[in-house]
A and B are shown apart, each in its own frame.
Chain A
Amino acid sequence: MPAGSVVEFANVTKRFGAVTAVDDLSFTVEPGRVTGFLGPNGAGKTTSLRMLLGLVTPTAGTATFGGVRYADLSHPLATVGSALEAASFHPGRTARNHLRVYAIGAGLPPTRVGEVLQTVGLTEYADRRVGGYSLGMRQRLGLAFALIGDPGVLVLDEPINGLDPEGIKWIRGFLRELAGEGRTVLVSSHLLSEVQQSVDDVVIIARGRLVHRGPLSSLETETAPQVVVDSPTREALAAALTDAGIRFTEGRTGLLAADPDPARIGHVAFAAGVELSTLHRQKSGLEDSFLALVGEGHTL
């Protein structure tokens, strides 16, 4: 297995006529980690990945693998494996032949075809024409194509779309495993919750621009933590919090207190003689921070 290289976007811009799909985008993706490439629909994820893979020519800037553009790689499929969202199959060709065609073109050993079909769990359907495949089976075939050269870098556009719960669980573990072997793994998604269990880093874009990048945990600190608290006598609780000078908003499951410390809230309630029915820290602020970051883009 070739070592994973650093993926680098350097001031990449793409305009389609009047539409600026990607706007001066710069970031790097490190080997040995799973990086989530996130953004709402139309943010420019697919366009960015297609520029990285040499399928779309940037209006400005460069995207490279260890400093080398995709078109200049001497063994592209053995360096970078990719699965893009569009179903790119001839419906009349079998999965096995689909993979054979590209293995031959890239000069890979024909034995890889059977191996990757096995890896993604398609062996049983390998000799059926792809036209009859379900969405999930197509996703798996796309992944088999990405893996065929045993590449050090994986670029996957929405790989979880269409997979069943078992498939989702499997791919999450698989991505972790690939990164654990030292490969560079870049996965896009329009849902943070879809990838948050498997990514180390996030790169978030909205309307073609970078809005956040860093480790997943960096998203948590983006929003102040909150404590959820409730009482059978909610008015009394509200009065106690107000008296103690703690700001809060009323949520569906209780009051959201703008204070990071549940113990302090509990003390305030106890001192005021208010019985509590709920007291806990807000479990995940990730999705909220994500939505806040892409906010304006999301209303498009």
Chain B
Amino acid sequence: MSGYLRSVAAEFTKVTSTRIWWVIALVLFGYIAVLAGGLSALFGGVQSGAIGSSMGGGQAPPPAQLPALIYSFASSVGYVFPVLLGALAVTGEFRHQTLTPTFLAVPRRGRVLAAKLTTLFGFGAVLGVVALLASVGVGALVMGTFGVDPVLGESDTWALIGRSVLAMALWAAVGVGLGVLVPNQVATIVIVLAFTQFIEPLLRLASTFTDATAGIGRFLPGAASDALVGASFFSIAAPGASVLEWWQGGLVLLAYAVVLTVIGYLVTWRRDVT
């Protein structure tokens, strides 16, 4: 086995030998299941007439868009979870001083970081599958009971599901990049939560006000991710917003992960371990 693959195997064992990854997976599943189930019931109820449109049902998405919207919650809402997992995988090494045995076992620091990026990309995909089990599994079930076609037979739906898994994997890689750039665990968590829950949504909304900023706004990581997945409540709430092609969105997200990781490598990863 090459040194790189051995390092990937070691990084994989690091993640599976502590509890954080399945705690995150569990919370992610619960959160997305409740959200997908609840909104499927609300919009499904509006469309089926069980809930009157006077109750705000006027805002409901057109029936054809509903399943894609619900399914995309996996990434459009759940993406903060793989970011946290990726960031914690790096900041934990600094916090618990495990960089010492890590670099003693493998003194090639660049290889260790590349292996970590690869491994967390994989775990991001796993979280993607978990999130989709919640959004598609629960969402389709609830929509079905309200007579909305969950369109599970359509290849478009499965393409969306595949792109969502890819988006979640890329988000975990972004988390690794963030963690290595800001190795302080508390600072990283604060940045992740503030950026994903507050700063970016505001920036995306603000960027839609003028054409010039809209062109820039679509390069924000959340916008790129939504473009990659192909549907989100954001694109329905602000239908005028310009979006990237799905593959462009994927490349932009990948670029965030790589650029953050490379800068982090240069700034913190090569430092003295004392």
Which residues on A are within 8 Å of B, measured CB to CB?
46-47, 50, 53-57, 70-71, 73, 76-77, 82, 84, 86-94, 97-98, 100-107, 145
Contact = CB atoms under 8 A, between A and B. Distances in A.
A179 B98 CA distance: 28
Contacts of B112: 105
A92 B103 contact: no
B95 to A, nearest CB: 9
Residue from A76, A84, A103, A104 whose CB has the most chain B CB atoms within 10 Å:
A104
A66 to B, nearest CB: 16
Interface stretch (B3-11, B24-32, B236-244): B3-11
Contact of B98 (A47, A56, A88, A107): A88
A93 B18 contact: yes
Contact of A56 (B7, B9, B273): B273
A77 to B, nearest CB: 6
Contacts of B96: 88-91
B13 A82 contact: no
Contacts of A77: 104-105
Give the residue among B6, B13, B98, B105 with the most A Cβ atoms within 10 A: B105
Interface of B: 1, 3, 6-7, 9-10, 13-14, 17-20, 92, 96-108, 112, 272-274
A53 B104 contact: yes
Contact of B107 (A46, A76, A88): A76
Contacts of B92: 90
Q: What's the dominant secondary structure at chain B's contact region?
A: helix
A50 B6 contact: no
A206 B236 CA distance: 69
A70 B13 CA distance: 25
Contacts of B100: 55, 84, 86, 88
A92 B105 CA distance: 20
A102 B17 contact: no
A149 B256 CA distance: 38
Most chain A beta-carbon contacts within 10 A, residue among B13, B97, B102: B13
A90 B18 contact: yes
A104 B107 contact: no
Contacts of A145: 101
Given A101-B105, A104-B9, 17 more contacts: A46-B274, A55-B272, A71-B107, A77-B105, A88-B96, A88-B98, A91-B96, A92-B18, A92-B19, A93-B14, A93-B17, A102-B10, A104-B10, A105-B7, A105-B9, A106-B6, A107-B1
> Most chain-B CB neighbours within 10 Å: which of A55, A70, A82?
A55
A107 B106 CA distance: 10
B7 to A, nearest CB: 6
16 contacts: A50-B273, A55-B100, A56-B274, A57-B272, A76-B106, A77-B105, A88-B96, A88-B98, A90-B96, A92-B19, A94-B17, A98-B101, A102-B101, A103-B105, A105-B105, A107-B1
A46 B274 CA distance: 9
A88 B19 contact: no
B97 A87 contact: yes
B251 to A, nearest CB: 31
A105 B10 contact: yes
B17 A101 contact: yes
A100 B104 contact: no
B273 A104 contact: no
Nearest to B92: A90
